[in-house]
Amino acid sequence: MQTAKLLANLKDSLTEQWTQAVFASYPEKSLPFLKTQKDPFANPVASMIREAAAVLFDALAGQDMDVEKVKTALDRFVKIRAVQEFTPSQAVGVIYLLKPLLRKQLLPEMQKQLDAYLEVESRVDSLALLAFDMYMTDKERVAEIRVTEIRNQYAQLKRWAQHLNAQAPLGEFAGCGQS
Amino acid sequence: MAKLPTPQMLMASRPELPKESWLDTKPQFAPGSYCYSEKKETMELLHMPNPHDWDPSAEDWNLPENWEQILCDAFEERLEKHRSLKLFMDICVRCGACADKCHFFLGTNDPKNMPVLRAELLRSLYRRDHTMLGKLLGKKVGARSWDKQVVKELFYYAYQCTECRRCSLFCPYGIDTAEITAIVRELMHEVGLGTHWIMDPVKNCSFTGNHLGIKPHSFKEIVEMLADDCETVTGIRPKTPFNEKGHEILFITPSGDVFADPGIYTFMGYLLLFHELDLDYTFSTYASEGGNFGSFTTFNMAKKLNAKMYAEAERLGVKWILGGECGHMWRVVNQYMATYNGPSPANMVTPKSPITGTVFKNAAATKMVHITEFTADLIRHGKLNLDPSRNDHIITTFHDSCNPARAMGLLEEPRYILKHVCNHFVEMPENTIREQTFCCGAGSGLNTEEIMELRMRSGMPRGNALRYVQQKYGVNHMACVCAIDRATLPPLANYWAPGVNVSGLHELVANALVMKGEAKRTMDLRQEDLPNVDADEAEAEEGR
């Protein structure tokens, strides 16, 4: 209970610092834009990061968070990181950037309740694992989309070829390859 | 002893401050971010300059020996030829209004995808040779010299621009960044650098008429197969007139809609609509590709492929051309065709709808009418019997395709039609539609599967807006008026807003169209059951 109270006091500072840490994984020249433009459609990446930050914090605080709800809120964030030019560790590992922040701000307050503090850190691990599963699903979807697209591009040609095959008299092909 | 990197070291994708200036930071050719190179034989067949084998991910691109001279001369020639290019090079004040308007920048957050910086890649070269300050002060005023890394950089970013012109909308000077991209691509072609996905269709369109290179008789057979499908759904087999002389109208549409799902259903929509109107028209196998893949390469190639339209209109003796749902086809028609191949042949007249008598004065110069203008006019005059309740299972939104929206102002007609054929229509957020529409992320020859990851991030602003209306209003369908959109939006929706279907507008028109003498409709053009049909009724219909 006390953990939740302590975390509640840190909410604004922790979410903001984590958001800034994720922003910092983008090129420096893009930072002023990411930081300032607030419209969710004019600056979608920042909007996705902020949405993720809010839900990560709530889950971290150990409030009764439904896994599906967490996944929905992380969905856009993980999706964009999965198709941007990051290594897998860079893409979803940014969730671990919460740990140094927690150690700096929360740990000193919880020296006498290390078990409770470790629980908070373990929740960071769970969230990162959850995000990793989502990341893999997204990557697999991209691969599947590539295959589907190739198939769709030539869909009618294939149908037409099958159509021709069905129409051709058997004898026409029966002699092929025979001496 | 070696140490494991710390988590922070693994996750930090860049050092705190980049060591080099932005002009010296070079792109990495990572798989998923670049298109495959074209084949040497293709370039030879098309008489393109300096054909050679090369690989974008290789260190050496095998450029011709005098590549720098070729590029400098080619750039100078274009500055003389296109006054607009010189103007665009000179007048940009780098105000940054365009910077955050590009879907590539929003999706990649790569600063060189800000249109101003993408153009600066070329402008910096311009300064060195064509401005007094640049000649004198060089790097201090942002001038730089050509080197092989610069060539790679130009190639990389010229193929991370879909020429959608959203940035131009916000430029106080109206600088057309799409034209800068077009010029960079043209320069790259001077030293033999092009992409397979664009050049292969260019070759096919050059030699056989359609982008897959299907021979005329086979092309016709595939269209007839689609007419058979129309009969299965409606009980009416529409006519498929090909290469016939003496008709009033020549119909030209992208050939992708004959081959690819879900474009074929839009094509079937055209067949049914024209049949219902008993329209006096013909298709052509020679001019069977409305889209102009040449416009993604060079001025001359665009001109060559565009010439087929008027040539065929003249040979077949038609009065005007009706054009299908396509994107860049309409930019070429409205902005370049007159310069390329105009004026129109003497046998052509200002288009007049044979059904309503409306004269399309807006098409007086080109003699080409967009199908949504034509259909909206039919609906306005009450010439179509429509039952929008057949589309009641659909909650649709509308994606404004970049070129019809920004290059011809086609904003109201598609919406007018959509509202008459669907009862549930929802707009996406205001700053993502109409003139401000976000590109599908893969236009101008970028809809190839090897860059799917790039497409998913560049298309994200569109996908994000779609996802918003899906979650907020239950949107399950997105209509569009572009064949490239019909190919690129399904994967995009599948990634960002799974569960949203994509179709052309005329697929929905034909689904709602009550035709004279049709069988009771129990399924839509995709041969999926219509939800509101009484099961007993449907069975009775089948047993009849």
pLDDT tens per residue, range A22-36 = 998 888 888 889 998
The residue of chain A nearest to residue B465, with distances taken between CA atoms, is: A41
End-to-end CA distance of chain A: 87
Give yes or no for B258 touching A (CB within 8 A). Answer: yes
Q: How confident is the model at residue A63 (pLDDT cuts 50, 70, 90)?
A: confident
Residue A140: list chain B partners with CB under 8 A. none
Q: Which residue of A37, A76, A149 is in closest CB contact with B100? A: A37
DSSP state of B477: E
Q: What is the pLDDT of residue A179?
A: 38
Question: Closest approach of chain A CAs to the CA of B3, in angstroms?
Answer: 18
For residues B223 and B258, the answer to whether their CB atoms sit within 8 Å is: yes
Of the partner residues A28, A100, A142, the one whose CB lies closest to the CB of residue B453: A142
What integer pLDDT is reported at residue B18 of this predicted model? 52
CB contact under 8 A, B100 and A83: no
- Cα–Cα distance measured from residue B154 to residue B15, given in angstroms and rounded to the nearest whole number: 25
- DSSP secondary structure letter of residue B48: -
Q: Domains of chain B, with CATH numbers? A: 30-194 (1.10.1060), 202-512 (no CATH)
Residue B282 CB-density burial (10 A; 0-12 exposed, 13-18 middle, 19+ buried): buried
- pLDDT tens track, chain B, 544 positions: 677 777 777 776 554 445 667 677 788 888 888 999 999 999 999 999 999 999 999 999 999 999 999 999 999 999 999 999 999 999 999 898 999 999 999 999 888 999 999 999 999 999 999 999 999 998 888 899 999 999 999 999 999 999 999 999 999 999 999 999 999 999 999 999 999 999 999 999 999 989 998 999 999 999 999 999 999 999 999 999 999 999 999 999 999 999 998 999 999 999 999 999 999 999 999 999 999 999 999 999 999 999 999 999 999 999 999 999 999 999 999 999 999 998 999 999 999 999 999 999 999 999 999 999 999 999 999 999 999 999 999 999 999 999 999 998 999 999 999 999 999 999 999 999 999 999 999 999 999 999 999 999 999 999 999 999 999 999 999 999 999 999 999 999 999 999 999 999 999 999 999 999 999 999 999 999 988 776 555 555 554 4
Do B160 and B27 form a contact (C-beta atoms < 8 A)? no
Question: What ipTM was assigned to the predicted interfaces of this complex?
Answer: 0.90
The answer to whether the CB of B300 falls within 8 A of the CB of B202 is no
A150 neighbourhood in chain B, CB within 8 Å:
449
Dihedral over Cα of B309, B310, B312, B313: its sign: positive
Cross-chain Cβ contact A41/B259 below 8 Å: no
Chain B nearest-CA residue for A97: B8
| pLDDT the model gives residue A176 | 46
**CA–CA gap between residue B340 and residue B301 (Å, rounded):** 10
Angstroms from A146 CA to nearest CA on chain B: 5
Distance from CA of B140 to the nearest CA of A (A): 19
Cβ distance A155 to B259 less than 8 Å, yes or no, reads yes
User: Is B19 in the A-facing interface, judged by CB distances under 8 Å?
Assistant: no
- The ranges assigned to domains in chain A are 2-145
CB contact under 8 A, B30 and A26: no
Contact between residue B158 and residue B85 where contact means Cβ atoms under 8 Å apart: no
Contacts of B227 (CB under 8 A, 6+ apart): B237, B238, B239, B240, B268, B271
pLDDT (average), residues A7-15: 90
A-B contacts at Cβ under 8 angstroms: 143
The residue among B45, B81, B56, B88 whose CA lies nearest residue B159 is: B56
SS3 state at B282: strand
**Residue B1: predicted pLDDT:** 60
B-chain residues within 8 Å CB-CB of A162? none
